[in-house]
Chain A
Amino acid sequence: MKIRELRLIAFGPFTNHRITFEGDGVLHIIYGKNEAGKTTSLRALSQWLYGIPHQSCDDFLHPKASLRIGGIIVNERNELSFERRKGTSKTLRDENDQVLDEGCLREFFGGLDDKTFTSRFAIDYAELRRGGQAVANDGGDLAETLFAAGSGIANLRPLQEQLQKELGDLFKSGGSKPRINENLRRIKELKTDIRNLQLPDSQFHEHELAWQKAQAQQSELSERRAVLRARERKLSEIYQAGPKVQRLSALRSNFATMTATPILSDRFEAEWQEARRALANEESTLKRLREELEKLQAQISGLQIHPRILEYGMAIDRLHERRGSYSKSKIDRQKRVAELEQIRLRLSIKRAELGPVAVGEDDDRWNLPPIERSKIQSLANEGKKLAERRRILQQQIESKEQNCRLLESELTTPDNVLDFSLLAASTKAASRYLDLESQTVGLEARVQQLEAQQTVELSKLHGWTSGPGPLLRFSLPSIDLIDAFDLEGQQANLQLAAAKKMETELRKKLQSKKRSLDRFMREHQVPTVDDLEQTRRKRDAAIQLLIGEVPSKGQPWPTADELIVEYSPGGNLAHAVLGAVRDADRIADQLRENADRVAERERLTTEIDEWNQAIAESMEEIEAATEAIRAIEAKWSELWKPLGLVPKPPRDMRAWIQSSLRVIDLTHQLSEAKIELVNRQNLIFNTNRELRRQLQVAGAPPLDGELSLSSVILASERYLEQLEHARQAWLAKQNELAHEQRELSKARADLSSIERDHADWLGRWRQATAKLRLPADWDLEMVDKFLEAAAEIASCLSQTESLEHRIAGIDRDEQEFIQETNQLLERLDLPPFSDSVEQAVETVFQKRRNTEKDQAVLDKATEQVAEIQSAILAHEHAQALLRSRLDALSLQAQRETWDDVAIVLEEDRRRRELQREMRQLEQDLLHLAAGRDLNEFYDEVLHTDFDALAAQRELVASQINDVEQEFRTISESIGSLRNELDKFDGRSRALEKEEELRMALAKIRTDVEEYSRLRLAITLLESAMEAYREKTQGPVLKLASSYFRKLTLGAFEGLKSEFDSKGRAILVGERSSPRRQVPVEGMSDGTCDQLYLAIRLALLDHHLQSNAPIPFIVDDILVMFDDDRAVAALETLVELSSRTQVIYFTHHQHLASLAQQHFGCRVAVQTLR
C-alpha cells in the first residue's frame, strides 16, 4: 500500500492543504520549519487512516465537528480516495461524502490497527533514542532488543521493571512487607485469636458445674457465720451492758436521797430567767432614752434663725444666678475692646498702603458688587494668560528658527550613503556560498579521508600493484561467479576427500579380511574347490591320455610325464591315472567333510575380492575428483588472467573482490569529491573577487591581502551596516528639519492669533476698570492688589461697627445688675457693698443657705424630743409589771428573796440531770437486751462473770474469723467463676475475629489472582521474546548486520550473536580495523542508536520479504547524526524506498538539502508552509 495524497481539508492550522506523494521508489521528504505544521501533518496522516480521537487538540481553528482529512491510497490493484471526519461512527466518507465501510481499508492495510501501524511502521527520534539507550543498558540482550524493536516499544525494561515491582509489592519469598506476606501473617494471628476466643461447650459446662458447687458451699458457710455472729452479738451486748448496769445502780441510789427541795414546774426556770432578763433590759433602755433627751434639748438652744433672709430667698437666688452672666460679660467686654483696637489698626494700615487713592470711608469702591469684582479678576487672569502665551510663543519661534538653521547646515551628504544596493545584493549573493566555504573544508577532509581509505583498501589487495586505475577498466569477476567457483571447488574437494576417505576405510577393511583369511588358513588346512578342480582336470587329462584321447583345446593340459612325475614317480601313466583319481577323490572327500570350513573360507575369499573391487572403484573416483579439481583450478586461473593475478582460493579472492569494489567505490567517491571541491573553490574565488570589487565601488577602505570569502562577506556586511547606519541618521535629520519647519510655521500663526486676542481683551479691560477710578498707568498686578485691599477695607469697616454695638450692650446690663443688688441689700437690712458687687451677692447667697439648714435641724430635733418623752413613759410602766411577776415566782419557789430562788433552781437542775441519765442508761440496756426483758437482762448482767465473758468472746471471734476467711475464699472463687460465666453470655468475640479472617482471606484471594496474572504475564512476555528471537534471529541479524555496516560508514563490519556468561544471547559489533568484537557497552550513544535503527530497518526489511508493503513513516530521526552518517542513513532509506514507500518528516533544511545533493531525483522534497 502506498499513500498518494494527503489532504488537510480542515485540520489544525491547515485549510485545504494538499501533500502529494508522487513517484515510486522515491524517498519522500516533508520539510517544515518549527510551527509549520509538521507534527500536525504527521498526526493527520495517522488520524486520516484510523480516525480522529474524541479529544482532539487540532480543533483550535476549525470546530470539532468540521475537522476533516482526506487523501488517496493505492495498492497493486486498486486506488481508494476517502475522507475522515470527526465522530463516533460513520466517519469514513468517499469523495461524495457517502459513508464508507471501515472494512474497505482492510484490503490496503491487511487489518493492521492504528497502534501497530504507528509502532511498527513509524519511527521518531524519541523511539530511536529510547531504543539506543535500551540496547546499551540491557547489554545487547538479543531477544529483548529484537522484541522491543519489532514492536516499536524500543525499551522493554521499564515495562518489565513495572511488572516486577507490582509483583514484588504483592508477594516475595521470605518477605514480610508485601501485601500477601503481611496478610498471611495476619491470618495466622487471627486463627490463634479465634482458637483462644472460642468457647468449647465442655469448658462452659465445667464452669457452670464449678460455679453451682461453689454457690452451695458459700450458702453453708453463710449459715454458720450467722450462728456465730449471733453468739458474738449476745456476748458483746452483755459486755457492753456491764458498765451501764453498774452506773444505773449508782444513780438510782443517789436519786433516792434528793427529797428536801420543792419540785418546780418544767417551765419555772425559763419563766424566772426570762423575767429577770426583761427587767434588766427595761432599766437599760430607760437610761439611754433620758440621755438622748438631754442632748436634743442642748442642740435646739444653740440654733440661730434670720427671718428676712428666708422671706427674700427667691430674690437672692435669682440675683445669684445672674452673677455668673455678669462676670462673663465683663470678661467678654475686655476681649471685644481689644479686638476693636486691632481692626482699627489694620484699617489704617490698608489705607496707608493704597495711599492717596484711599480717601474716604464711604467710598463706593470699597463695596464693589461681587459680580463686578469677579469680572475684573477674570479679565485680569485672561490678560495674564495672554501675555504668558505670547511670551512662550516668541521664545519657541526663536528656538525653532535656530534649530532649522543648524539642521540645514548639517544636511550635506555623500552619495554613497544614499545608494549601496549593488553592494548589498552582491553580499547577499555571496552569503549563499558562505556554507560552501565551510563545506569545502569538509570536502577537502573528505577527499583526504577517501584517499587514505583508498590507500588502505589498495594495500589489502595482495598481488596488486597497478593502482586503482586498471581496476576501473577491467571487468572484475562477480561475487556470484566466485561463489560458484568456491562452491564447485568445495564440492570437488569434498568429493575427493570423500573418495579418499572411502578408499582408506575400504583398505582398512580389506586388511582386516585378509588377516581373518590368513588366520583361518593357518588354523584350517582345507583344500579349495580350485584344488579339486585342478586335481580333477589332471585326473581327466590322465584318463584321456590313458585312453588316447586328445584333450580339448583351450586350456593347457599337463603332459603324461608331468602327471607320472606328480602322481607316480617311477610308474607309468596308468599308475599316474590311479594316483590322480585317488587324489581327486581325496580332495573331494576332504571338501565334503569340511564343507562349512570351505564355505567360510569361500566367503572370506569372496569378500576380499569384493573389497578389492570397491577399492578399485574408489581409486577411480579419486582420480576423477582430482581431475575435476585440476580443471576448476585451471578455469580459476584463467578467470584472473586478464588482471594478471595468480589467484588465491575463492574465499580470499572474494575478500579481494570486495576490497577492490570498495577501492572502486572509493575511487568514484574520490573523483566526485575532487570535482566538487574544484567547482566549489572556483565559485568561492569568483564570488570573493566580485564582492571585493563591489566594496571598492561602494567606497569602502581597501582590503589587504588574501582573505577568505567569509572574511570578505563579514567586512562587506560590516561596511553595509555602517552605510545603513549613516543613511538612517541622514533620514532622521531630514525628518527632524521638516518637523521643525512645520512647528515654526504653526508657532508664528499662533502668535498672530494671540496678538488679536490681546487687543480685544484690552478694550474689555478698560471698560470694566473705569469705575475704580484708578490711575491710567496701573498694571494688572496693581489693579489686582487694589481689589484685594478694597475687599479687606470693606471687611474691617463692617467688623468695627459690629463690635462697638456689642460693647454698648454689655455696659447697659452691668449697670442694671448693680442697681438690683443694692436694692436687695437694703431690704435685708444689710449695708451696701463696698468693693465688689459679685462678692456681695455671693455673701448674701451663703447666708441664705446657712439659714435654711438651721431651720431644718430645728424642725427635726423638736420632733425627736416628743418621741423620746413618750417612750420613757411606756418603759417605766413595763418595769413595774416585771417586778410584780418576779415577786409572784418567788412565792412559787417558796422563797422570799430573789437570790434564794436561784439556789432552789440549782438543786432542781441536778435532780433533773440524774433522771435523764438514768433514762438514757435504761434505753441503752433495752437496746442491748435486744428484745429480752430489761429487768432480766439487768439482773443477768449484774451477775455476770466478766473474766469468763472475755474468754468466750475471744473464742467466738476466732471462730467467726475462720468462717469469714473461708467465706472470702469461696466468694472469690464464685466471683471468678461468675466472671468466667459472664463471658459466656453469647457474645461474639470469636465471630468478630472470624469475620476479620474472612475479610483477610478475601483480600488474599484478590491479591493471589493479581499476583498470578502478573506472574503469568511476565512468563508470557519472556516466552514470546524468546520465541520471537528464535524466529527472527537468523535472517534479521544478517540484514541488520548489513544495515549497521552502512549506517556506521563501515566502522563496523556487522553484528553477531554471542552468548554472555549467563548463557544469554547478546549482540556484539564486529570492528573492521582492527578486527575485533565490540560489546554494546563499548559503543557510543550514537552507535547504539544506529544499531537500534539497523535492527528496526532489518525487521521491516524482513517483513517486506513476505508481506505487502506498508508505508514507513520516519520522523526526524537523523537530527543527531553527523552529515556523513546522515547521508548513509538517508541512503538506506532511499534504497528502502524501492521496496516500500518511505516518508521522512524533518524540520532541518540541511537534511533535505543533503538528501537532494546526494540522491538527486531519488528524493522528493516538499516544504510545508
Chain B
Amino acid sequence: MVSSLQVDCNNPQFLVFMFQFIHSADLHLDSPLHGLERYDGAPVDAIRGATRKALENLVSLAIERKVDFLLISGDVFDGTWKDFQTGLFFSQQMRRLAETDIPVVMIRGNHDAESKMTKSLRLPENVELLGHQRGETAKHPRLSDLHVAVHGRSYSKPAETESLLPTYPPAFKGYFNIGLLHTALTGSENHPNYAPCTPADLKAIGYDYWALGHVHQRAEVALDPPIIFPGNLQGRNIRETGSKGCYLVQVDDQHNCKLEFRPLDVFRFAQASVNIEGCQTEDELIEVLQARLRKSYDESGRMSMALRFELIGSTDLHAKLIAHRERWVNEVRSLAGEVSSDDIWLETLKIRTSPPRSSVVDLDGPLAEITHQLERSGDDAEFRSTLLSTIDELRSKLPSELLDGPDKLDLQSPTWLSDQLQEAHALLLGKIREVFEP
C-alpha cells in the first residue's frame, strides 16, 4: 500500500517537519523464538535475546534520529514470562532515552495486563504509562510544548472484549492528536478480537494519527488520518515472517504525516517453496536447492534468518527423500550454511513431493494392500483408534508446552493422524522401494 501522505521533499504538500516521533508496538520482550531446533551450524547466537536486541535497535534509532517522543502501543512484555530481569532491562533501555531527553508514552496491551511485571516495575520518569480507568492524555511537558496530545487507555484485564473508544478524550483543538490503542479492529487472524472497533469509529473521534498495536502483521489500515499497525519488533515464529520494526513519523505544521517503516529485527522468519520436478539425480537436486536457498538469503537482505523450506513436485527422487528424511534435512542444513555463511537456520524441511506420475500402485499385490490399509484408516474408526494407541505411551510422556498453544502437537486430531499416515505410507513405500534399488 502506498500512502498518499508518505511523501518526501518532492511533495509540495509536505513542508519542513515540525516534530517527529516513533510508533512501535508489541515488543513482547524476552519472548523466545519458537520452532527452531538446534544443530551444528545453526546461527544460535543470532536468536539469543533477539527481542532485546530489537528493542535496543529501537532505542538507538530514536536517539540517532533525535525523535521528539516514542510511542509504544501495548504488549511490551509477554504475559506468562515472570523474570523480573526483563522489566529491569526495559527500564535500562528507557533510561537511555531519558539521558537524551526523549519522552515515552505507552499503554498496556492484553499481554501486559496478564503480566505481573508491569504492576511492580518502576519506570523511569521519562516514561508515561496511560491508565486503564478511562482514556487519558499524556502529561509530559515536552508534548505540550510541541502542541501534541497523546491519548490512550491501557488494558485493565487480559481480555478487553468491549470497545475502549467511548472513554477516549475528544481531540484537543490546535493540537496534533494521537490515539494509542491496542486492538484487533474488526478481527484478525491469529489474534483475539479485543477492544473491537472499526476504522470509521477511529476516524470519527477526529484524531490526527492512530497508533495501534496488537496485530503483529504490519498494516497501514488508513491514511487519512493514518491508522497504523507497525507490527511487532521481532518475528518470533514461522507465522511472523518478513521484516519487523517501527514507523518513524514526521509531522509538518499542517499536520501532514510522512511515514517511514524502519526494520529493527535482528533475525527473520521466511518460507520458501521449490519445485524439484525434473531433478533426476541427487546432484541436480542439490544444485536446485542451493540456488533456491541463495535466492531466499538474498531476499532476506542477507541477514540471519529461519527458513521453512518446502520441496514440491513429482520426482524420481521422491522415495529417497521420504525414506531418508533426516539425511536430506542435514543436507539442506549444510547447503543453507554454505550459501549464507551459517546465517540461515533451517526451521523445517517439508517434503511434499510425489512419486513420478508414470508410476502407479501395484495392482492387487501386497503393496496395494498397504495403500488399502491407509484408505481403511479413513473409514474404520476402530482401526484409527488402534493406530493412535501405538503412540499413546510417547504422548503421555510429552511436556505440556508441546501439547498446548497455537502450535500444539495435537497427536489425537484426525487431521494430524491423516497427515502422519500419508507420510508414514510414503515412508514405507519409499523404504520398500529402496529394497529393490538399494
Contact = CB atoms under 8 A, between A and B. Distances in A.
Q: Which of B36, B280, B325, B366 has the most CB of A within 10 A?
A: B366
A1019 B38 contact: no
Interface string A1095-1116: 0000000010011000000000
B364 interface: yes
A1106 B393 CA distance: 44
Interface in B145-186: none
B89 interface: yes
A1009 B402 CA distance: 12
A93 to B, nearest CB: 17
Contacts of A1103: 363-364
Interface in B386-438: 386-387, 390-391, 393-394, 397-399, 401-402, 409, 411, 420-421, 423-425, 427-428, 431-433, 435-437
Interface stretch (A607-615, A636-644, A982-990): A982-990
A986 B89 contact: yes
A203 B84 contact: yes
Interface string A159-185: 100110000000101000000100010
A709 B324 CA distance: 64
Contact of A1014 (B120, B121, B374, B424): B424
Nearest to A199: B84
Given A159-B431, A985-B88, A1010-B326, A1025 B423 contact: no
A990 B83 contact: yes
A1009 B84 CA distance: 36
A1011 B85 contact: no
Contacts, number: 223
A998 B280 contact: no
Nearest to A1023: B373
Contacts of B373: 1020, 1023-1024, 1027
B436 A118 contact: yes
A249 B372 CA distance: 125
A112 interface: yes
Contacts of A131: none
Interface in A985-1006: 985-992, 994-1006
A1017 B387 contact: no
Interface in A112-152: 112-116, 118-120, 146-147, 150-152
A276 to B, nearest CB: 77
Interface string B47-63: 11100100000000000
B365 A120 contact: yes
B38 A197 contact: no
B244 to A, nearest CB: 18
Interface stretch (B192-200, B208-216, B247-255, B354-362): B354-362
Contact of B435 (A153, A180, A1006): A153
Nearest to A118: B436
A1013 B91 contact: no
Contact of B83 (A55, A114, A151, A199): A199
A200 interface: yes
A153 B367 CA distance: 10
Contacts of A972: none
Contact of B363 (A55, A110, A200): A110
B37 interface: yes
Chain A contact patch, size range: 35 or more
B117 A201 contact: yes
A288 interface: no
Contacts of B278: 88
B390 A119 contact: no
A1022 B372 CA distance: 13
Contact of A1016 (B281, B402, B424): B424
Given A1002-B35, A1008-B402, A1014-B424, A199 B364 contact: no
A200 B325 CA distance: 43
A1 B91 CA distance: 82
Nearest to A1006: B37
B32 interface: yes
A357 to B, nearest CB: 95
A1025 B367 CA distance: 9
B261 to A, nearest CB: 27
A1095 to B, nearest CB: 12
B363 A116 contact: yes
B370 A1024 contact: yes
B362 A116 contact: yes
A984 B398 contact: no
A113 to B, nearest CB: 4
A986 B92 contact: yes
Nearest to B319: A115
A665 interface: no
A200 B82 contact: yes
B400 to A, nearest CB: 10
Contacts of A996: 38
A1028 interface: yes
B372 A1027 contact: yes
Contact of A1008 (B367, B376, B401, B409): B409
B115 to A, nearest CB: 10
B99 to A, nearest CB: 16
Interface in B2-52: 30, 32-38, 44, 47-49, 52
Interface in A685-701: none
B287 interface: no
B82 A1013 contact: no
B129 to A, nearest CB: 16
B161 to A, nearest CB: 28
B116 interface: yes
A1015 interface: yes
A187 interface: yes
Contact of A1020 (B37, B374, B437): B374
Contact of A1004 (B85, B92, B398, B427): B398
Interface string A743-777: 00000000000000000000000000000000000
Instruction: Give the 10 A-B residue pairs with the shortest CB-CB distance, closest first.
Output: A986-B89, A1016-B424, A1002-B37, A986-B88, A113-B359, A201-B120, A1017-B424, A1024-B369, A1017-B428, A199-B84
Interface of A: 54-55, 88, 102, 110-116, 118-120, 146-147, 150-153, 158-159, 162-163, 171, 173, 180, 184, 187, 197-205, 984-992, 994-1006, 1008-1021, 1023-1025, 1027-1028, 1031, 1103, 1106-1107
Given A152-B436, A991-B32, 10 more contacts: A151-B362, A199-B85, A200-B84, A984-B88, A985-B88, A985-B92, A1002-B35, A1004-B398, A1013-B427, A1031-B369
Interface of B: 30, 32-38, 44, 47-49, 52, 81-92, 116-117, 120-121, 278, 280-281, 325-326, 348, 358-360, 362-367, 369-370, 372-374, 376, 383, 386-387, 390-391, 393-394, 397-399, 401-402, 409, 411, 420-421, 423-425, 427-428, 431-433, 435-437
19 contacts: A112-B363, A118-B436, A159-B435, A198-B85, A201-B117, A203-B84, A985-B92, A986-B92, A990-B83, A992-B48, A994-B81, A1005-B402, A1012-B420, A1017-B428, A1019-B390, A1020-B421, A1024-B366, A1024-B369, A1106-B364
